[in-house]
């Protein structure tokens, strides 16, 4: 009898260890594609949504869902530059200029996207 309970105890412990281990490795990978909720941009899976279109005057907020830091830096070097955004942190920019703004992450060369600001 005691042995049986002990076995259940061990099995429960193992499954808890398994689930907490697998949980820590999963994080959302919503990056890439186009953004359907343009005022909030998720950075995840080391990617921005390819194109985000907002109305002039909108405040756009990027949130970093990745376990590593990123930046949101306009290619022109002047329109916006977030600096380092840690995991779970956000950066907001009020888009007061109409135009197409290519931007990138300073830390990861593959991370590129475009913010389109319309009238």
Binding residues for Cu ion, rule: CB under 5 A, are: 70, 105, 107-108, 111
| Cα–Cα distance, 91 to 55 (Å, whole number) | 18
Residue with tokens 């009238």: 119
CB of 30 to Cu ion, least distance (A): 15
- Beta carbon of residue 108, minimum distance to Cu ion (angstroms, whole number): 4
CB closer to Cu ion out of 78 and 109? 109
Quote the CA–CA distance of 62 and 59 in Å, as a whole number. 10
- Nearer to Cu ion among residue 39 and residue 65 (C-beta): 65
User: Based on CB atoms, which residue is closest to Cu ion, 31 or 38?
Assistant: 31
The C-alpha atoms of residue 8 and residue 20 are separated, in whole angstroms, by 18
Tell me which residue has tokens 């990056």: 31
**Considering the complex, what minimum distance in angstroms separates the CB of residue 23 from Cu ion?**
24
């Amino acid at each position: 009898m005691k042995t049986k309970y002990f076995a259940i105890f061990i099995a429960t412990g193992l499954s808890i260890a398994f689930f907490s281990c697998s949980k820590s490795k999963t994080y959302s990978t919503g990056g890439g594609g186009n953004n359907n909720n343009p005022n909030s941009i998720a950075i995840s899976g080391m990617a921005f949504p390819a194109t985000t279109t907002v109305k002039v005057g909108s405040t756009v907020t990027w949130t970093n869902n990745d376990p590593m830091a990123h930046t949101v830096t306009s290619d022109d070097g002047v329109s916006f530059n977030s600096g380092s955004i840690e995991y779970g942190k956000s950066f907001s920019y009020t888009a007061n200029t109409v135009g197409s703004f290519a931007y990138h992450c300073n830390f990861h060369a593959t991370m590129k996207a475009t913010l389109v600001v319309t009238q």
